[in-house]
C-alpha cells in the first residue's frame, strides 16, 4: 500500500507516472475489498469508479473545482484520494460516513444520498459562478446511468443546456446498472452508444488511412471532419445529447486512466455544457461482485467473507423477505395485483414476484413520482398496484400520493420499506418522516405492523381496499418474533392488560409498529414500580380507531411510542383526537426529534434519542408520580368530558364513554 499511503490529497496524484497510477488503482481495490467486507458498505459501485476517480482528481483541482457525486455511494475512492484513509469504522458511530459528508472534508459538497440531484446542484453552482464573475473554477457532476433515469436529472439537463457559455461538465458513469440493470429508453440509447464502433474510432481510422494518401488525403480528412454531425448520427447516434445543446465526448473506457483523463481535460476546454460518457464495470477487479447477477454486490453486510462477499453469519428473516413471500402468495391468488419498483427490484423484495409473474412487474427507473401516478392510472384501469419504495424515497412523491392517488380514490397500496430509524446509512436514509408527511393526506390509510404475522395480515387488508390509497410501513433488518394479542379493542390489538392483576390501569401505552417490543419492556418496568400499564397496538395508525378514546379515558396517562419524528407523528394525531373528543387524559409522546441523525446502528441511534425501554420507563414513572391526586377525578370524569364533546368522537363513542356501555376490551 506504499502508493496509497503517500496520497495526502489530490495533488499528490500529479507526481505519479502512468504505471504508478495503475498500481495505485490496484492498491485501492486491495484496500477496499477486505475493509468494507468488515464494516459493511457499498463495494460494487466503488470498485467500478477507481480509475474514473483517479482521472477526475488529476484533471480537476478539488476543492477549487467542485466535484459532485450523485447518490454518493461511489465516493469511497474519492475519500481515499482526499486524505481519508481510516475506514475501520466506516458507517459506524464515530466513524466515516458511507456518503460524502461536509463535516469530513472540504472536498465533499452533497451529502444527501437521494439520486438524480447532482445536476441541479451543478446548475445552481455554475449559475452562481456566472453571477459573481467567477471564471477560474470548474463544476463537475458525476451521475450514473441509473440516476440519469430520474425526472429531476432531465429537468436539470434542460436548464444546463440552455446556457451555451456556462461550463458544466457532466460525467455519465455508465455501468448499465443502478442496483439492478438500468431500464428504459435512456438505457437503450446509452446501450446504442456503448455498442457501436463510435465516431471517434471511425475518425481515428480515417486519419490513419487518409493521412497516408498523397495530395488529397489531408483535405479529404478535413472535409470528413467537417461533416462530423452527420457521421455521428450514422456511426454513433448521440443526437439525444447534442440536440439538447450539450457537447458529447465518448464513449470512453472508464477503466483507462490516461484515456479518461484526456477526455476530461478535453471537456474542460469547451467552456460550455458537455457530457463525458464513461463506460465502467460495477465491481471491477472483484470476481465475487462481477459474478453476482442480482446487483454485483452493490452492498455487503457487516463481517462478510472478503472472498465471496457473503455474510459469515447469516442474517435472520427480514421484514422485506416477509413482504416478498406474501406478495408471491397473493399474486397467485389475484391476477389484478401488480408490482411497481423504482430501480430497486431486489432491495424492496419484488424480485420473487417478478420471477413468478414477469408480466405483472414494472420497474420505472429512479422515478418515484412517475411510479405513483402511473400506479393511479393502473388502478383506474382495474388493477391493484403495489408500489414498493424505501420510506425515505417515497417522500419525494408526496404530491403524487396526495393529488393523483388520494384525490382520485385510487386503490393503490404503498410499501414504505426501511421505515423508521435505519441507522448506518445516515441522515438521508432514515425513514422517520413518512407518518408525519403522509398523515395529512385525506383518505389515505396507514398501517404499521409490529411483526411478520401482522405484516402479512395488513398487506391483505390493504389490498382489499379498492377505493382509497393505503400504505404499509415497516423496518429495516431482521423481523422480530411474532407478538400475539391478548385482547381486542375495536380494530386494535391489546398486547398487555392490567386485568387480573392488582395494578390499576394507570398508563395506556400506544405502541406503533416495530416499537411494540420497546412498549412491552416499558410496561414490564412500570409494573416493577407498581404502575399498571395497558399496551395497545393500533395496527392502522391512520385513521385512529375511535376505541382509542375509550381506552384513553380509562387511564390516567397516555404514552405513545413511535420511531417517526414527533412533529406531526402518531402521538400528535392521538393528542388532537383526544382534545377534539373532550378526553383530557394527559399524553406524552415519545418519538424521533426533528433532527438529522448521524450514522450508527439502529440500537445506538435509539439509545441516543431516548427510545429505549429503560429511558421511557424512567420518564413515565416521574410523570405518573407528578399527577395531581385530584386530576380529572378518575376515569369517570374523563368519560363525562368525552360525552360533553357532543359527538366529536365518531361512531357514538362519546355517548358510550359517558354511560360506560362501550365494550372496553374483548379478551381473545
Instruction: Say what the pLDDT of residue 79 is.
Output: 94
When mean pLDDT is compared across 291-300, 339-348, 481-490, the lowest value belongs to: 291-300
| pLDDT band with cut points at 50, 70 and 90 for residue 308 | confident
What is the mean predicted confidence (pLDDT) over 479-493?
Answer: 95
Which tens digits make up the pLDDT trace of 4-37? Answer: 999 999 999 999 999 999 999 999 999 999 999 8
Q: Give per-residue pLDDT as tens, 383-434.
A: 999 999 999 999 999 999 999 999 999 999 999 999 989 878 878 888 899 9
Note the pLDDT of residue 300. Answer: 80
Query: Which of 224-238, 442-456, 470-484 is predicted least confidently?
Result: 224-238
R_g of the chain computed on alpha carbons: 29
Question: What pLDDT does 223 receive?
Answer: 44
CA 18 – CA 28 distance, rounded (Å): 16
Question: And the C-alpha cell for 128?
Answer: 452562481
Cell numbers found for residue 311: 455474510
pLDDT of 665 > 70? The answer is no
Given a contact cutoff of 8 angstroms between Cβ atoms, the answer to whether 263 and 153 are in contact is: no
Burial of residue 216 (number of CB atoms within 10 Å: 0-12, 13-18, 19+): exposed
* Predicted pLDDT at 632: 42
| Choice among 292-301, 390-399, 598-607 with the minimum mean pLDDT | 292-301
Which of 273, 43, 36, 48 is CA-nearest to residue 161? Answer: 273
pLDDT at 283 (0 to 100)? 86
Instruction: Tell me the C-alpha distance between 135 and 582, whole Å.
Output: 65
Summarize the confidence of residues 652-657 as an average pLDDT.
41
Q: What is the pTM of this model?
A: 0.84
Cell of 263: 477526455
Q: What is the pLDDT of residue 650?
A: 38
Tell me what pLDDT residue 240 has: 57
The two counts, helices (H) then strands (E), for the chain are 28, 19
Amino acid 243: pLDDT? 66
Per-residue model confidence as pLDDT tens digits over 200-224: 454 454 455 555 555 555 554 444 4
Q: Which pLDDT band, with edges at 50, 70 and 90, does 548 fall under? A: very high
Please state, in angstroms and rounded to a whole number, the distance separating the CA atoms of residues 449 and 319: 10
> In whole angstroms, what is the distance from residue 350 CA to residue 70 CA?
25
Q: Which of 303-307, 505-509, 621-625 has the lowest mean pLDDT?
A: 303-307
DSSP annotation of 634 reads S
pLDDT tens-place string over residues 348-383: 999 999 999 999 999 998 899 999 999 999 999 999
Torsion of CA 159, 164, 166, 170, to 10 degrees: 70
Confidence tier at 656 by pLDDT (50, 70, 90) = very low
Q: What is the pLDDT of residue 167?
A: 93
| Residues taking part in catalysis | 282, 368, 396
Question: In this predicted model, which residue has the larger pLDDT, 507 or 642?
Answer: 507
Predicted local confidence at residue 638, as pLDDT: 53
Q: Which residues contact 158 (CB under 8 A, 6 or more apart)?
A: 244
Specify the pLDDT at position 508: 97
Which of the two residues, 483 and 604, has the higher pLDDT score?
Answer: 483
Sheet holding 666-667, edge to edge: 587-592, 557-565, 505-511, 532-537, 492-496, 487-489, 666-667
Amino acid at each position: 500500500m506504499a502508493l496509497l499511503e503517500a496520497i495526502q490529497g489530490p495533488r499528490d496524484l500529479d507526481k505519479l507516472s502512468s504505471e504508478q497510477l495503475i498500481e495505485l488503482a490496484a492498491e485501492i481495490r486491495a484496500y477496499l475489498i477486505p475493509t468494507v467486507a468488515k464494516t459493511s458498505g457499498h463495494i460494487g459501485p466503488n470498485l467500478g469508479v477507481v480509475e474514473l476517480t483517479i482521472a477526475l482528481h488529476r484533471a480537476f483541482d478539488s476543492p477549487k473545482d467542485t466535484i459532485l457525486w450523485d447518490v454518493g455511494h461511489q465516493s469511497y475512492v474519492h475519500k481515499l484520494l482526499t486524505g481519508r484513509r481510516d475506514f475501520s469504522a466506516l458507517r459506524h458511530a464515530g466513524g466515516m460516513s458511507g456518503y460524502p459528508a461536509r463535516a469530513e472534508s472540504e472536498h465533499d459538497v452533497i451529502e444527501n444520498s437521494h439520486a438524480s440531484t447532482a445536476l441541479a446542484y451543478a446548475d445552481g453552482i455554475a449559475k452562481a459562478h456566472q453571477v459573481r464573475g467567477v471564471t477560474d473554477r470548474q463544476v463537475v457532476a458525476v451521475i450514473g446511468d441509473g440516476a440519469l433515469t430520474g425526472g429531476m436529472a432531465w429537468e436539470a439537463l434542460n436548464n444546463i443546456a440552455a446556457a451555451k457559455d456556462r461550463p458544466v461538465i457532466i460525467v455519465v458513469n455508465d455501468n448499465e446498472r443502478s442496483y439492478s440493470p438500468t431500464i428504459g429508453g435512456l438505457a437503450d440509447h446509452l446501450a446504442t452508444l456503448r455498442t457501436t464502433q463510435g465516431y471517434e474510432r471511425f475518425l481515428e481510422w480515417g486519419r490513419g488511412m487518409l493521412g497516408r494518401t498523397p495530395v488529397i488525403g489531408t483535405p479529404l480528412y478535413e472535409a470528413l471532419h467537417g461533416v462530423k454531425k452527420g457521421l455521428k448520427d450514422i456511426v454513433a447516434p448521440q443526437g439525444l445529447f447534442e440536440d439538447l445543446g450539450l457537447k458529447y465526448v465518448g464513449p470512453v473506457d472508464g477503466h483507462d486512466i490516461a484515456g479518461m483523463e484526456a477526455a476530461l481535460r478535453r471537456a474542460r476546454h469547451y467552456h460550455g455544457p458537455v457530457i463525458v460518457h464513461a463506460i465502467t464495470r460495477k465491481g471491477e477487479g472483484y470476481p465475487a461482485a462481477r459474478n453476482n447477477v442480482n446487483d454485483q454486490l452493490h452492498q455487503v453486510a457487516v463481517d462478510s467473507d472478503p472472498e465471496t462477499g457473503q455474510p459469515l453469519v447469516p442474517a435472520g428473516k427480514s421484514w422485506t423477505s416477509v413482504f416478498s413471500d406474501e406478495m408471491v402468495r397473493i399474486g397467485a391468488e389475484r391476477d389484478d395485483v401488480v408490482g411497481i419498483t423504482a430501480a430497486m427490484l431486489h432491495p424492496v423484495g419484488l424480485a420473487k414476484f417478478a420471477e413468478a409473474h414477469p408480466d405483472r412487474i414494472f420497474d420505472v427507473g429512479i422515478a418515484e413520482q412517475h411510479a405513483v401516478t402511473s400506479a393511479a392510472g393502473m388502478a383506474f384501469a382495474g388493477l391493484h398496484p403495489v408500489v414498493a419504495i424505501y420510506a425515505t424515497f417515497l417522500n419525494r412523491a408526496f404530491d403524487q400520493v396526495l393529488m393523483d392517488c388520494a384525490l382520485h380514490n385510487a386503490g393503490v397500496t404503498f410499501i414504505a420499506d426501511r421505515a423508521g430509524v435505519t441507522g448506518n446509512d445516515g441522515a438521508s436514509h432514515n425513514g422517520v418522516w413518512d407518518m408525519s408527511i403522509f398523515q395529512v393526506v385525506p383518505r389515505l390509510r396507514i398501517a404499521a405492523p409490529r411483526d411478520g404475522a401482522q405484516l402479512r395480515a395488513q398487506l391483505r387488508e390493504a389490498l382489499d381496499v379498492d377505493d382509497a390509497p393505503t400504505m404499509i410501513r415497516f423496518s429495516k433488518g431482521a423481523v422480530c418474533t411474532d407478538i400475539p394479542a391478548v385482547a381486542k379493542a375495536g380494530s386494535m390489538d391489546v398486547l398487555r392488560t392490567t386485568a387480573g392483576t392488582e395494578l390499576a390501569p394507570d398508563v395506556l401505552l400506544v405502541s406503533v409498529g416495530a416499537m411494540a417490543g420497546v412498549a412491552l419492556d416499558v410496561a414490564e418496568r412500570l409494573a416493577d414500580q407498581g404502575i399498571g400499564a395497558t399496551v395497545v397496538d393500533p395496527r392502522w395508525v391512520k385513521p385512529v380507531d375511535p376505541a382509542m378514546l375509550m381506552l384513553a379515558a380509562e387511564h390516567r396517562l397516555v404514552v405513545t411510542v413511535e420511531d417517526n419524528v414527533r412533529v406531526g407523528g402518531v402521538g400528535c394525531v392521538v393528542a388532537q383526537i383526544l382534545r377534539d373528543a373532550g378526553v383530557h387524559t394527559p399524553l406524552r409522546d415519545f418519538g424521533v426529534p426533528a433532527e438529522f441523525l448521524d450514522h450508527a446502528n439502529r440500537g445506538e441511534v435509539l439509545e441516543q434519542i431516548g427510545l429505549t425501554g429503560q429511558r421511557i420507563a424512567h420518564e413515565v414513572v416521574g410523570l405518573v408520580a407528578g399527577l395531581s391526586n385530584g386530576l380529572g377525578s378518575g376515569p369517570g370524569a374523563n368519560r363525562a368530558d368525552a360525552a360533553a364533546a357532543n359527538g366529536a368522537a365518531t361512531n357514538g363513542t362519546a355517548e358510550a364513554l359517558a354511560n360506560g356501555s362501550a365494550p372496553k376490551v374483548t379478551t381473545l
